[in-house]
Structure 1
Amino acid sequence: MKLRHYHEKRRFEHTPEPKGKKRKSGKRRIFVVQMHAASHLHYDFRLEVDGVLKSWAVPKGPCLDPKVKRLAVHVEDHPIEYADFEGNIPKGHYGAGAVMVWDNGTWEEVEEDKKNKNEDVAFYLYGEKLKGKWKLVQIKTDPKNWLLIKVQDEYAHPLMEYNIVEQEQTSVLSGRNIAEIAKNSKAKRNKIKKNENTLPDLSQLSLTQSELPVEIHPQLATLTKTPPKGKEWLHEMKLDGYRLLCFVTDKVKLVTRGQKDWTRKFKSIANEMTNLNLSDTILDGEIVAIDHAGRPSFQLLQNVLNKNVKAQMVYYVFDLIFYQGFDLRMLPLVKRKEILKQILPKNTQLIRYCDHVKGSGERVFEVACEMGFEGVISKNIDSKYVEKRTKSWLKIKCSHRQEFVVGGMTKPQGERGHFGALLLGYYSQDELVYCGRVGTGFTDSTLRKLYALLSKYKTVKSPFSEPPPMNDLLSWVKPKIVVEVEFTEWTDEGVLRHPSFKGQRSDKQPKEIVKEEEKSILSSNNGLSHQIKNEADHKITNPDRVLYPRQDITKIQLAQFYEDIQDWILPYVIERPLTLLRCPDGIDGERFYQKHLPKNTKLSGIYAVETKKSTDKENYLYIKDIKGLLSLVQMSVLEIHTWGCRIDNIEKPDLITFDLDPGEGVTWKEVVNAAFTLKEELENYSLTSFVKTTGGKGLHLCIPIKRLYEWEDVFVFTQAFAKYIAIKYPKKYIDTMSKSKRVGKIFIDYLRNKRGATAVAPYSTRASENAPVSTPLSWQELTPKIKSAQYTIDNLKKRLSRIKSDPWESFLSLKQSLPHLRGDDDD
């Protein structure tokens, strides 16, 4: 029936129904099912065909049981605009009664059925409620009568088990039922549009506006056993899909956490994102395949990607990183989600806002597991967006499940083909550690496809650091493929118990895969102090206070860092007068220096030393051990600067420091070359020097000396040496602080060798972005590839675990004499 029949039956000056007209259909054709409470309640089933909605009245509504055939009476075509109509048709008009949008989505004709000459139609539906393969079969004796039939697939259900029209009684647009719509006489025509709430003026939020970064690494959650308590945490369902970042510029790009471009895999998501009219925006979310129960299914997602089945795909968006060019990473999470909720439409089929619950973490987790979800993600409401794994985002799983790297295959047994089990491992310090085999959870299809894929990487050498004893080995394989496995627990031997294959993870790189271990939640617990587990049993108050927002490093994490590296840092900071840079509110807040011990201090492990030449009565502070170091953290100290002497003889320095401070236009390679130049020149005076990064933009050369000389003697020598270098290499170096004269040159800063002057200590953190650490190096390590801020709180421990010897091994025992000032042995 043509669209004119629709127009002839309606008086549009009195009915809220859209007049509409025929229009050109796009690549993605829509469908809609409307519950219609006319003289007899029925369902109108409509498919977009040739620019109109072909329509059938289905008296009993659709059914998911393939054995049930529902009568569908062909009626007049409706305009495309009718798909958004929800409201009341007035009495006295054609079809009077309430209309509710019961389901909607897109549809696709089955390719093999397009060539059929009969009038039957087979198609896939991708709706909120109706999914999978369906058929419309025309009754030959009465051409206007058809049968709507569900085809057997994973979305089919026996009618006795699930009557969808009885179970699903609300609108996919408004959430109202038909009775509620009938009470409201005003019709609503819902379209994809932004939320009409007023968006915040981002220019008033002290945010930076810039071009989008080329790549972003997603923030990751730390595995823990139980959800955190308190209203400062929000909880989201853990989605069983693929993590994707969405970049919206002049085009849309979907990127995995491993920086793979997956836009082509999910064209429909990208197309729908284009329709939202966002600009210069980066969103973070997860793409999932929705199963017949309305839950995300990773196995179904795998089948969709392998083109085995069709399913409804949804991109759940849970974070907003950039919006309109504004960098939102420093905003609290709850504010980012507030903006995100306002910019996302409510009625899109493929893109949805990922909602959350504040507080009640244990109950949310319990419900998530009961409903069959994988678990929950708990996030601190004030957390910034940080491009790494943090403890401000936590994941709590209903069952043990993680990714592993495949390192081999065993021989198949019995009737099974291809392989028997996969040999699994994870990375620990660049070595692949064997952790068991998985032989269940495979279908014939996955066995075949995995075998074909793994056969490309067969090798004669085991990739595992300690290969397991094997008598049924089929082949070792190169560690290229990542799979996801569910298991009951880890055995004492570090092997998986009762593992079951869940799917391949093509979005993750093998080197990313480490053993996930449940971490304790370091939380303030309503202001109670957290105890560091060391011999001091030290207490840190306000442990969750963020000191480095970009890295989301908290006070307790800084304390843990220093406790972990105490054997490295303590020899350089104990029993020396200190000057401290304190940042009570982190690197973005107020900062100040402190060198005197406050009166009536109650901090454990901090002491005072009196100086004979001091012109005031105040004392200089120092520490003796780990207790004192952790007390510095309690004071929010982010930089520890030391004098070049020890407290038992303050007037006799034991350390010289030259700071290579590059001026404007100086390259890092030139700074490195300068360090080697000074090293060689000092060797001409029989002085051995040690180099370290500053964590800033330069390098420090440190020379241990005998405690024989007065401060003035040391200062005279260092000043003369710096002047000598500046005269010998006038185009490269300078010995004055003048910034105007330092352009293109390196200042040989000798001023740190005066009494009371300080230099940042080896292994001290710096109060700047990325949480750098001043790090000792061996001369063999120093190349232009090593940057001054190379090592940070995040990666220093990894470096220390790998190096075979201390780069400053002889520093503390070496005692050197200054030229022309040689005297008796050190006391």
Structure 2
Amino acid sequence: MAAKTVVLLTVPGPEGDREVRLTSPDKVYFPERGITKRQVVEYYLAVAEPMTRVLLDRPTNLKRYPDGVDGEPFFAKRLPKGAPEWVRTARVTFPSGRTADTFAPSEPAAIAWAANMGTLDFHPWPVRAADTDRPDELRIDLDPQPGTDFADAVAVAAVLHEVLDEAGLVGWPKTSGGRGIHVFARIRPEWSFIEVRRAVIAIARRVCGRVPERATVDWWKEERGERVFLDYNQAARDRTIASAWSVRGLPRATVSMPVTWETLPDVAPEDFDVLTVPALLERDGDAHAGMDDAVGGIETALEWFAADERDRGLGELPYPPEYPKMPGEPMRVQPSRARAGRDDAG
């Protein structure tokens, strides 16, 4: 049997150089473009500075593709065995009440180590290790439904930008790596997951009220139509979004790329991939470099939620199916099934 190829990488960091093992460097991860595991790890080293800022001390789920994008991926919500002692963790609590010690990177070498373990997407929680019950980041996922595309998401994102400004929040957009757009806003870690989710619901409802023909918060797919879904449940505990700079498990090896509001209307998501992004970062810098300095609060958005509940009868919305029944949540039943049940009862 041939010896397994191992390359030792020296990765600088805040506590000095780390040695990271790169195994099977020539294994092809993206067959359509011939991109290898070595190229993926080298990509992550090239974007290590801004990506470390994004992930710093955040509990992070790892979406691993040990056999490349043609294989079966899986999420690692607990730190994989065999991690070096310098790879940090954070204790998180799931909706079920169970806990886990999750990967929480603090330096570039930790990202390189995870990439060597077959990680493509890094999915950080919106919290820091110091307080994993209070988010410091509000996130909104704009998900184009069948019949819509990235251009539709851009149009809805422009309205979201206006609403965030009115809420006193600074939004930072990025491509999802696919057809969608993610918008993040830094907030003070003073509110619970439930409160932050309600703030997202209130903001999303305001967007939908202005462009009802383009945007929806309807949880059930049968009600969304050809509109962009503002996925408020990505703000629920243990729901995560691929980070900025993450490589997506798609044939072109696209990347979730930070952009500005000014450039968003003109970008093409497919232009950002493992091969192109390092040069773009070197040329243009990090579009989200100022994010940590723009911290806001959700007081206004929570006032909107309370007003919607009081004046319009609009309160909580359904949680994902794996969640326990939550306070104030409406029936978690697909509308067509609920109607069929009523008809049968009649």
Local SS of the residue matching 1:539: strand
TM-score by length of 2: 0.80
Structure 1 gaps, min length 5 = 1-524, 823-827
Which residue number corresponds to residue 301 of structure 1? none
Aligned mates of 2:193, 2:185 — CA distance in 1? 15
**In structure 2, how many angstroms separate the alpha carbons of the residues matched to 1:548 and 1:637?**
13
2:308 is the counterpart of 1:807:
no
Aligned letter for 2:20?
H
Partner in structure 1 of residue 343 of structure 2: none
- The question of 1:729 aligning with 2:211 is answered yes
Secondary structure, aligned partner of 1:538: strand
Match of 1:698 in 2: 180
Instruction: Quote the Cα distance in structure 2 between the aligned partners of 1:678 and 1:716.
Output: 16
Q: 1:643 aligned to 108, 116, 125, which one? A: 125
Pairing partner for 1:597 from 79, 91, 99 = 79
Check conservation: 1:694, 1:789, Cα contact below 8 A: no
The CA RMSD over aligned residues, in Å, is 2.0
Report SS of the residue matched to 2:195: helix
Report if aligned partners of 1:532, 1:560 keep a CA contact under 8 Å in 2: no
Provide the residue aligned with 2:316 in structure 1: none
User: Matched residues in 2 for 1:612 and 1:775: separation?
Assistant: 29
Assess, with a 3 A threshold, how the Cα gap between structure 1 residues 739 and 612 changes in structure 2: closer, same or farther: closer
- Among residues 556, 559, 580, which one is paired with 2:62 in the alignment? 580
% identical aligned pairs:
24
CA contact (8 A) 2:29 2:37 kept: yes
Select 1:791's aligned residue among 261, 266, 272. 272
2:322 is aligned to: none
Between the aligned partners of 2:4 and 2:93, the Cα distance in structure 1 is: 43
| Structure with the bigger percentage of helix | 2
Change beyond 3 A, Cα 1:774–1:740: same
The alpha carbon displacement at 1:621 in A equals 2.2
Q: 2:317 maps to which residue? A: none
Q: Is the 8 A contact 1:529 1:539 kept in 2?
A: yes
Match of 1:771 in 2: 253
How many residue pairs get aligned? The number is 295
- Give the deviation of 1:821 after TM superposition: 7.6
Kindly provide the amino acid, as one letter, of the partner of residue 197 in structure 2: F
Match of 1:759 in 2: 241
| 8 Å Cα contact 1:604-1:628 kept in structure 2 | no
After superposition, where does 1:115-130 map in structure 2 within 5 Å? none
Deviation (angstroms), 1:729: 2.3
Whole-angstrom CA distance in 2 between matches of 1:741 and 1:781: 32
How many Å apart are 1:551 and its aligned residue?
A: 1.7
SS of the equivalent of 2:148 reads coil
Identify the residue that residue 713 of structure 1 maps to in structure 2. 195
- In structure 2, the residue corresponding to 1:606 is in which secondary structure? coil
CA spacing shift, 1:821–1:792, aligned 2, 3 Å: closer
Separation of aligned partners in 2, 1:625 and 1:565: 12
Distance 1:724 1:821 in 2: 10
CA contact (8 A) 2:120 2:247 kept: yes
User: Aligned AA for 2:9?
Assistant: I
Moved over 6 A (4+): none
Answer yes or no: is the 8 Å Cα contact 1:776–1:807 preserved in 2: yes
Counting only pairs closer than 5 Å after superposition, residues 535-550 of structure 1 correspond to structure 2 as 535-550=17-32
* Aligned counterparts, 1:173-184, within 5 A: none
Contact persistence 1:658–1:702 (CA under 8 A): yes
CA distance 1:806–1:627, shift in 2 (3 Å)? closer
How many angstroms does 1:564 deviate by? 1.4
Mapping 1:286-435, distance limit 5 Å: none
Mark the CA change 1:821 to 1:590 in structure 2 (over 3 Å): closer, same or farther: closer
| Equivalent residue number for residue 223 of structure 2 | 741
Whole-angstrom distance in 1 between the partners of 2:123 and 2:264: 23
Residues 734/617 of structure 1: CA separation in 2 closer, same or farther (3 Å cut) = closer
* Structure 2 partner of 1:616: 98
Partner of 1:439: none
| Matched-pair contact (CA < 8 Å) for 2:204–2:217 | yes
Whole-Å Cα distance in 2 between the matches of residues 667 and 716 of structure 1?
A: 27
Which structure has more RCO (C-alpha within 8 Å, separation ≥ 6)? 2
- How far off is 1:793 after superposition? 0.4
Aligned partner of 1:340 in structure 2 is: none
CA deviations 1:795-815 (Å, max 9, x no partner) are: 001111211x53213201221
From the superposition, tell whether residues 612 and 658 of structure 1 become closer, same or farther in structure 2 (CA, over 3 Å): closer
Cα separation, 2, equivalents of 1:617 and 1:782: 38
1:627 aligned to 2:104?
A: no
* 1:432-459 residue CA offsets vs partner (Å, 9 max, x unmatched): xxxxxxxxxxxxxxxxxxxxxxxxxxxx
The residue type equivalent to 1:818 in the other structure is I
SS at match of 1:696: coil
Are 1:816 and 2:296 an aligned pair?
yes
Residues 676, 612 of structure 1: CA spacing in aligned structure 2 closer, same or farther, 3 A cutoff? closer
Letter paired with 1:684? E
Q: How far does the alpha carbon of each residue in 1:73-127 deviate from its partner, in whole angstroms, 9 at most, with x for none?
A: xxxxxxxxxxxxxxxxxxxxxxxxxxxxxxxxxxxxxxxxxxxxxxxxxxxxxxx
SS of aligned partner of 1:620: strand
Question: Which one-letter code corresponds to 2:127 in the other structure?
Answer: C
Q: Which residue of 2 aligns with 1:527?
A: 4
Shift of 1:665: 1.5
- Higher percent of residues as strand: 1
> What are the ranges of 5 or more consecutive residues in structure 2 without an aligned counterpart?
12-16, 303-346
Q: Which whole-Å CA distance do the structure 1 matches of 2:123 and 2:85 have between them?
A: 20
